[in-house]
Amino acid sequence: MAKLYFRYGAMGSSKTANAIMVQYNYQERGQNALMLKPQLDNRDGERVVGSRSGLSAPCRFVEELDAIDLSAYDCIIVDEAQFLKKEQVRRLVDIVDGMNIPVICYGLRADFMGNLFEGSHWLMAWADTIEEIKTVCWCGRKATMNARVAGGKVVKAGEQIVLGGNESYVALCRKHWARGELAPLEIRRIAAGKESYLPLLLEADPSEAMIAGYLEGGELYVLLVNGQTAGAAVLAAREDGAMELKNLAVAKDMRGRGYGAKLLNHIVKLCAPRGDRLYVGTSPKNVAFYEKFGFVKDYVVEGFFAEHYAEPIVEDGVVLTDMIYMVRRL
Ligand SMILES: [Zn+2]
């Protein structure tokens, strides 16, 4: 007999990646798995499920179920199932019991205030199998709560669903959610929404065009201090196989506290298994900083700043022309 599954987890517990993997497993066995998600009012109607890790897959909307011939499918997978309405969960139950098609739902259990979502409520009530997908809080305890973060602070009141807002969500254990305590210091890789860090990256590299050239293909890491973005770094692979630090920026009001060093040490550690050298292109002012981390001057790209930047870059009263490449053995 087919079953209705509810697999719930906090933000960042790889629910969407799991959903995509299950679909892939069906396809590998020569079977069809239909990927669905609820369509939220006002949300741009993209028929795609996407995960924080960067994986994505095409999908249909739950609202389109009537127009889909389900007899062709061996399984139905629903992402973002917390947003389902009661009638939609009821419909999924009917598909399981009436057509004998398994339905696997992935979603959050509770919202940022700790209340069940409508979809989660009815899935908890009616699913045959309820499974938890675990993830951890910054303290190492199991994360069960989803904190809404705005301006570096945990927010406890507001609309359950905010569309197109600037807030972000982070998984916390119940204690740290209740106290509104974010990680004292953590480094995260950002896969989606990289462009929102542009103002910070511009502090280390004043050309938007240059940043655009390496941000999309590069790896963006951000340093968060109590939920506030203190710094960012962009790492990329070079054509010669070595790694290159393309940008290392510390927010103006966060400077002089060792955050640049923290980020750089982290980048060096990340690069170690991936090549034997880490390069950085920089200007005279920063040479001493990088020397402290084992970098040595390697070569100079003459006229780099003069050629690639529309506005002259002035550093300590001198217009920059050449870029100094420094290298560190890994
Ligand atoms: Zn915690």
Terminal Cα distance for the chain, rounded: 56
The larger pLDDT score, comparing residue 125 to residue 191, is at 125
- For residues 116 and 213, state if they share a domain: no
Q: Is pLDDT of 44 > 90?
A: no
Q: What total of structural domains would you count in the chain?
A: 2
Ligand 1 centroid to 138 CA: how many Å?
A: 6
Domain that holds residue 271: 186-329
Ligand 1 centroid to 131 CA: how many Å?
A: 21
Separation of alpha carbons 92 and 213, rounded Å: 45
Position 232 in a domain: yes
Ligand 1 centroid to 288 CA: how many Å?
A: 38
Categorise residue 248: left if φ over 0, alpha if ψ from -120 to 50, beta otherwise: beta
Q: Is pLDDT of 162 > 90?
A: no
- For residues 297 and 206, state if they share a domain: yes
Categorise residue 147: left if φ over 0, alpha if ψ from -120 to 50, beta otherwise: beta
Position 160 in a domain: no
Q: What is the mean pLDDT of the chain?
A: 93
Q: Find where tokens 């339905």 sit.
A: 103
3-state helix, strand, coil in the chain (%, to 5): 30, 30, 40
Residue-wise pLDDT for 293-327, tens only, equals 999 999 999 999 989 898 888 888 989 999 999 99
- For residues 129 and 198, state if they share a domain: no
Which residue, of 133, 158, 178, is where some domain finishes? 133
Extract the tokens encoding 293: 């981390």
Ligand 1 centroid to 183 CA: how many Å?
A: 8
Residue-wise pLDDT for 82-127, tens only, equals 999 999 999 999 999 999 999 999 999 999 999 999 999 999 999 9
- For residues 111 and 194, state if they share a domain: no
Ligand 1 centroid to 60 CA: how many Å?
A: 36
Separation of alpha carbons 3 and 128, rounded Å: 6
Say which CATH number the domain at 298 has.
3.40.630.30
Report the candidate in 225, 259, 264 with the shortest Cα–Cα distance to residue 247.
264
Contact assessment for residue 264 and residue 293, using Cβ atoms and an 8 Å cutoff: yes
Mean predicted confidence (pLDDT) in 68-88: 97
Residue-wise pLDDT for 172-190, tens only, equals 999 999 999 999 999 999 8
Position 57 in a domain: yes
Q: Is 80 a catalytic residue?
A: yes
Separation of alpha carbons 79 and 6, rounded Å: 10
- For residues 107 and 223, state if they share a domain: no
Say which CATH number the domain at 127 has.
3.40.50.300
Catalytic residue among 80, 181, 219, 244, which?
A: 80
